[in-house]
Structure 1
Amino acid sequence: MRRLEAVYEKLQELYSGSGVSAFEIAEDLNLSRANVSNDLNRLFEFGRVSKTKGRPVLYSPIHKKNNIKHVTVFDKFARNNPSLYSAVQQAKAAILYPPNGMHMLIFGETGVGKSMFADLLHGYAIEMGKMDKDSNIITFNCADYANNPQLLISQLFGVSRGSFTGADLDKVGLIEKANGGILFLDEVHRLPPEGQEMFFAFMDKGLFRRLGETDEEREAKVIIVAATTENPDSTLLRTFIRRFPMILTLPDLAHRTYEERFGLIIKFFREEAVKFNSEIIVSINALRALLAYRCNHNIGQLRNDIKLICAKAYLQFISERREAIKINSTDLQDNIREGLYKNIEYEIILEGIQTTLGRYCVFNPKDDDFLPKTTFVKPDFNKLIELKINQLISKGKDFYEIKFLVEYNLNGYIRSFIESIEMKFNEMDIMNICDPICIKAAYKFVELCEKNFNRVLDEDFYRAIVIHFDNIINKENIKEGFISSYINDIILKHEEEFTIVTENVKVIEDIYGVIISEEDISILSIFLIYCYDLNLYI
């Protein structure tokens, strides 16, 4: 057990309604008061304990009814789409904003998934209890009524009987239908200025009148989510833009990671498997091509291309009486197959696919996971460094230039590794995916290093160290000695720290029976030293 958790448990044990001092806990655990005081202050920062002012400082545990963090569909989406993390956080804040949420404007190129994002927003609002389960998300394409303001009013706000010739019945508008939910205004840049002005009163006060009504004002609680592919400043009235406190930007497919694109490919293939109610078998080369080909119209085109590929394979399955719906790279269109010849960073992603048919990946309609379990791959810091070195070699950089660039960018590499873990894994995930012996060894190792260096790491860094420890103890297919030749200069600058880490590793090896190579000790030393430095700023 980590010292931090031991201190917290002892605090809970000693607490009887009045505060407990660091001295009492230190005495019971046979630890130094300074270390216990430091741990209690960390627990205070994490919101797990409260403390009194004055001397002596007394600490009390904060008891929460439920310590399990609810993971929503939106949270899962953010984990699988890290480049949308900022947009997701903004959107969540807008939905939860009291009392009735904020209106939002979503900016992004055609096909980036604005309507899908709006659907996720609606689902999140229901999950969080901000909207009823039977609430609606109503979509309105502003381009359909761009040249007819009168028709626009009737569609959005409704019609009062007798307001014009032929209006024999009252007609409910889309705003009333969306009451308690979301009205999604697609292509809002096609809304004429007079159409934008019609929304002012409603967006400000939630009040509106049907066409033809003069006295009666109606009320509706609706979050307006508008989407545009154009620069809002050049296509919308400034007074209209000001009605949207939250403006989000969704990046196009070219600016999203290959892991994200791979997640979308998996999702779309599984959707097709569900439609056909049959397994779809896709070759690894076909997946490589889909990862790399130029997809000009973003996610919409990627989805449609996969639909066409699957439709063709299904036709062959039916007409030629094949045993399965099977897709090879030769079945792809020429422009997609060109992706096979592009040099991109997808090797690490594809290494994680454990396929049941060797060179193929099987998509099952009964698999409920957003991503197949076979793609659940732990980030690997050693592989990341090896990949970066190989990229520099392929660009013609010489040995000494590579050494300089690796050291210069090391903080960035470590930060990237830690952020990828923070996005994908929590404490429970680590318990499930890492070897229990590695977890214990990592905790003990960091505890020793914290003591020797008189420095502490926060929880995010602890998770990163655990996963890194698990990787280096159970590593496969890493060229021993390849990385160390490029980092020996860094080790020479930190000889004292390297010696301490080496001694601590020997203790871990003796206790847990694990073996850590000399090269891994070097990389581990650098990783830990730089983690301490980053810990000061994050």
Structure 2
Amino acid sequence: MNRKEKIFQAVCELCITFPNGLTTEQIALYTNIARPNVSNYLNQFIKENKIVKSGTRPVLYSIKKENLKTIHQSANLPVHDVQKEPFQYFLGYNGSIKKQINQAKAAVMYPPHGLHTLLTGDTGVGKSLFASLMYNYAVYQNALDKNSPFIVFNCADYASNPQLLVSHIFGHVKGAFTGATRDKFGLLSEADGGMLFLDEVHRLPPEGQEMIFYFMDTGTYGLLGETQRSRKAQILLICATTEEPNSTLLSTFLRRIPIKINIPNLAERSPGDQVDLLKYLLEIEARKINCAITIDTDSAKAIIGSSFSGNVGKLKSTIQSVCAHFFIEDNNPNQL
């Protein structure tokens, strides 16, 4: 499967969870493909009349409405499930992860504009998906307008240049640092009126954390190089980290975040959750290769057990590896 096919498949799969559309960032995170490449292929799909895009900011991409019904039927989902509560798409929503979901709902709905939230957990546990569902839930409950922005930013992308990292979030004025040849607004400006998801927030330098907590306190900020913090924005901040917060984040920063939600790793989830996730990923793989897949109990346990270290990402790659092996070895390509 080439990158173009992988991205289109991702749009089809994610439209089951996000029927209102997906941002380029969400698709890039899901496929682990660089954002510019994802954007390029999305534009190709639009020209090929495979997907549509919204006129909102950020731009949302989705499968054409006439094809949504087919996608949901292929996933064995009733069409009316498209409108169900967003968190119901998160594995364990009514069981092992119910507490975390209730925390997230409280954070989103708390008057007047919600409560800033920190998501913790290992790589691959679903923090990015969880943040997306928080945004979708806010829209679902009319706490946010459906056209309000949901901006995703991974602080690790600029971790080698702390000044550029802070500039990307806050913006800068011309001459603020070497290479700043013009004024530039940052993510706080883009996310005004919506939600900003800062992944790998522990990569923020201490001065960047201080600037963020000042913004959380006052709702005001300044571009790098400005002498006054007179700019205003109304933003619900969702931060995420794979590290121990108390050892990587300033205590003054942590105190400004009232809601802290830990997403458990695969090994900590209930056996029922583990099996449900395995079934879900097998269904996706079966649709992708157009082949029925059956699995016995011992094999299921072995696949799940070997994937604990890498969580969902490792489980997905293990399934693909096993399916690829039997796809070549089996004499019946329609049944694995």
Q: What is the CA deviation profile of residues 194-222 of structure 1, one whole-angstrom value per residue up to 9, with x for unaligned ones?
A: 12112122111222222233357322222
- How far residue 124 of structure 1 moved from its aligned partner, in angstroms, is 1.2
On the 8 A contact 1:197/1:240 being kept in 2, the answer is yes
Alignment of 1:183 onto 2:196: yes
From 250, 275, 282, the counterpart of 2:294: 282
Mapping for residues 28-43 of structure 1, pairs under 5 Å? none
- How far residue 321 of structure 1 moved from its aligned partner, in angstroms, is 8.5
Alignment of 1:140 onto 2:153: yes
Alpha-carbon distance change, 114 to 79 in structure 1, aligned in 2, over 3 angstroms? closer
Alpha-carbon distance change, 162 to 275 in structure 1, aligned in 2, over 3 angstroms? farther
Mapping for residues 122-521 of structure 1, pairs under 5 Å? 122-164=135-177, 166-215=179-228, 217-276=230-289, 278-285=290-297, 286-293=299-306, 295-312=308-325, 316=328, 322-324=332-334, 326-327=335-336
SS of 1:283's partner is coil
On the 8 A contact 1:145/1:151 being kept in 2, the answer is yes
SS of 1:282's partner is coil
Tell me how far apart the structure 2 counterparts of residues 239 and 210 of structure 1 sit (CA, whole Å). Answer: 21
Match of 2:59 in 1: none
Tell me how far apart the structure 2 counterparts of residues 272 and 135 of structure 1 sit (CA, whole Å). Answer: 34
Alpha-carbon distance change, 148 to 127 in structure 1, aligned in 2, over 3 angstroms? same
AA paired with 2:86?
Answer: V
Q: What is the CA deviation profile of residues 248-294 of structure 1, one whole-angstrom value per residue up to 9, with x for unaligned ones?
A: 11222112111101111122223334444x24412224434334445
If the length of structure 1 is used for normalisation, what is the TM-score?
0.43
- How far residue 146 of structure 1 moved from its aligned partner, in angstroms, is 3.4
Alpha-carbon distance change, 229 to 81 in structure 1, aligned in 2, over 3 angstroms? farther
Alpha-carbon distance change, 94 to 306 in structure 1, aligned in 2, over 3 angstroms? same
Tell me how far apart the structure 1 counterparts of residues 178 and 333 of structure 2 sit (CA, whole Å). Answer: 63
AA paired with 1:183?
Answer: L
Match of 2:43 in 1: none
On the 8 A contact 1:142/1:186 being kept in 2, the answer is yes
Alignment of 1:112 onto 2:125: yes
SS of 1:297's partner is helix
Q: What is the CA deviation profile of residues 291-338 of structure 1, one whole-angstrom value per residue up to 9, with x for unaligned ones?
A: 444521222211222233345556x39xx88542x43xxxxxxxxxxx
SS of 1:138's partner is strand
**Structural RMSD (CA):** 2.7
On the 8 A contact 1:81/1:260 being kept in 2, the answer is no
AA paired with 1:252?
Answer: N
On the 8 A contact 1:139/1:183 being kept in 2, the answer is yes
Alpha-carbon distance change, 79 to 144 in structure 1, aligned in 2, over 3 angstroms? closer
Q: What is the CA deviation profile of residues 336-379 of structure 1, one whole-angstrom value per residue up to 9, with x for unaligned ones?
A: xxxxxxxxxxxxxxxxxxxxxxxxxxxxxxxxxxxxxxxxxxxx
If the length of structure 2 is used for normalisation, what is the TM-score?
0.66
SS of 1:83's partner is coil
- For these two proteins, the number of residue pairs brought into alignment is 253
Tell me how far apart the structure 2 counterparts of residues 321 and 177 of structure 1 sit (CA, whole Å). Answer: 54
Deviates more, 1:238-247 or 1:261-270: 261-270
Gaps spanning 5+ residues in structure 2: where?
A: 1-82
AA paired with 1:194?
Answer: E
Q: What is the CA deviation profile of residues 214-238 of structure 1, one whole-angstrom value per residue up to 9, with x for unaligned ones?
A: 3573222222111122221222111
On the 8 A contact 1:83/1:251 being kept in 2, the answer is no
Tell me how far apart the structure 2 counterparts of residues 312 and 217 of structure 1 sit (CA, whole Å). Answer: 60
SS of 2:184's partner is coil
Tell me how far apart the structure 2 counterparts of residues 182 and 280 of structure 1 sit (CA, whole Å). Answer: 40
Tell me how far apart the structure 2 counterparts of residues 151 and 119 of structure 1 sit (CA, whole Å). Answer: 25
Alpha-carbon distance change, 152 to 294 in structure 1, aligned in 2, over 3 angstroms? closer
Greater relative contact order: 1 or 2 (C-alpha under 8 angstroms, separation 6 or more)?
A: 2
AA paired with 1:178?
Answer: A
Q: What is the CA deviation profile of residues 18-69 of structure 1, one whole-angstrom value per residue up to 9, with x for unaligned ones?
A: xxxxxxxxxxxxxxxxxxxxxxxxxxxxxxxxxxxxxxxxxxxxxxxxxxxx
On the 8 A contact 1:80/1:260 being kept in 2, the answer is no
Tell me how far apart the structure 1 counterparts of residues 253 and 106 of structure 2 sit (CA, whole Å). Answer: 21
Match of 2:63 in 1: none
Alpha-carbon distance change, 87 to 226 in structure 1, aligned in 2, over 3 angstroms? same
Greater C-alpha Rg? 1
On the 8 A contact 2:135/2:150 being kept in 1, the answer is yes
State, as a whole percentage, how many aligned pairs show the same letter. 45
AA paired with 1:308?
Answer: S
On the 8 A contact 2:165/2:204 being kept in 1, the answer is no
Q: What is the CA deviation profile of residues 476-508 of structure 1, one whole-angstrom value per residue up to 9, with x for unaligned ones?
A: xxxxxxxxxxxxxxxxxxxxxxxxxxxxxxxxx
Tell me how far apart the structure 1 counterparts of residues 209 and 237 of structure 2 sit (CA, whole Å). Answer: 12
On the 8 A contact 2:166/2:204 being kept in 1, the answer is no
